[in-house]
Structure 1
Amino acid sequence: MQVIKNKLPKKTKISNIVTTADLKQKFDIEKLNDYSWGIYDQISYNGICGYVKTPEMKGKVTLFTSGKMISIGSNTIQNSIDQLNQTKFYLLQENLIHDIKLEPLVRNMVSTITFDKPLNLKKLVKKIPNSIYEPDIFSGLRYKIKEGLSALIFSSGKVVVAGSKSVQDISYAYSKIRTYVE
């Protein structure tokens, strides 16, 4: 299968992207509660983090007192990066931080693949190298595609791919799995 750059294979959908960035400065995280877009709870996580969430955000951004940020819940890389930049903008606007250029880094992309047929996991585990199927422990077949990239394959024909850092990784996972199921 030819992989087209930045284009997902059919029947593949990104469900979550985790992107990080560093403000490279500490700030008073308790002040997040002063704004409608901020949430800080002293009890949660021993008071070391807060959140930025607005109605227009698909996901949310977790902020740590160290200045590190994690965007979760987006389904596009651009949206995930936009959430980090939007958070930086809010913090700048309220003079909680000094301006800095963010260097976002995609850490993980979770995607789903739908094969429109039931899959026989007992047969697949014999065909797929680096796979494990233990139905008494977990209902899916676990497949380590390559270092850091893995899939959970279910008898329904649904597949969850985790560990991707790019659309190319997702396309690669799809092509590897497809060779065994079709």
Structure 2
Amino acid sequence: RLTKPRISALIFRTGKMVCTGAKNEGDLKNAVHALVKLLNDHGANVPLNPEVQVQNIVASGSLNAEVDLEQAALLLENTMYEPEQFPGLIYRMSDPRVVVLIFGSGKIVCTGAKSEGDVAVAVQQLYDKLKEIGVLYVEEGGGEEAEEPEEGEEGEEE
């Protein structure tokens, strides 16, 4: 574990490493370089510039509007909604290839993205689609139209 940036790493015999907890790609690369230095300082022979590949980004945010999940489940393809099992609607997108958890409050979690750009595209497409099918509802006192979604905090990167 590193404290700055705050990440956890698993290092395998094959030489592969999995890092989680980075808030952005810059922090991820800084963490990898810090780990490489630490390993080399302790006698390992690790290349100084290893290839860093982002496999999964998890981001959370808000659509700034409530969502009628029952209607969304009926009108959207590639969804799963079983409120007795889980309170969110699971929406699988194909381009970008991500999964978005959508909650009635308008909170969302996007997972499976390969880049921060994929997250932004997915959230905008989701917002536009939900608006198009009429399942977004602005909270009391917020006017009639839902605002553009707010940029979420980046989650884990591997």
* Counterpart residue type for residue 112 of structure 1: S
Asked whether the 8 Å contact 1:127–1:180 carries over to 2, the reply is no
Map 1:19-98 → 2, pairs under 5 A: 53-98=1-46
1:102 corresponding residue in structure 2:
50
Which runs of no fewer than 5 residues in structure 2 stay unpaired? 132-158
Whole-angstrom CA distance in 1 between matches of 2:64 and 2:116: 22
* Counterpart residue type for residue 7 of structure 2: G
Q: TM-score, normalised by structure 2?
A: 0.75
For the aligned residue pairs, the C-alpha RMSD in angstroms reads: 1.6
Task: Quickly say closer, same or farther: Cα 1:122–1:109, change in 2 above 3 A.
Answer: same
**Matched residue of 2:77: which SS?**
coil
What is the deviation of 1:113? 2.3
What is the deviation of 1:57? 2.6
What is the percent sequence identity of the aligned residues?
24
Whole-angstrom CA distance in 1 between matches of 2:108 and 2:76: 14
**Matched residue of 1:85: which SS?**
helix
What is the deviation of 1:69? 0.6
Which runs of no fewer than 5 residues in structure 1 stay unpaired? 1-52
User: Deviation digits for residues 104-153 of structure 1, max 9, x if unmatched?
Assistant: 00000001120222211011112222112111222111101117411110
Whole-angstrom CA distance in 2 between matches of 1:150 and 1:113: 14
1:136 corresponding residue in structure 2:
84
User: Deviation digits for residues 74-119 of structure 1, max 9, x if unmatched?
Assistant: 1101111211111011111222224353000000000112022221
Map 1:153-168 → 2, pairs under 5 A: 153-168=102-117
Task: Quickly say closer, same or farther: Cα 1:134–1:97, change in 2 above 3 A.
Answer: same
Task: Quickly say closer, same or farther: Cα 1:103–1:173, change in 2 above 3 A.
Answer: same
Whole-angstrom CA distance in 2 between matches of 1:142 and 1:109: 17
Q: TM-score, normalised by structure 1?
A: 0.66
Bigger relative contact order, structure 1 or 2, given CA contacts below 8 A and separation 6+? 2
Task: Quickly say closer, same or farther: Cα 1:97–1:120, change in 2 above 3 A.
Answer: same
Matched, 1:112 2:60: yes
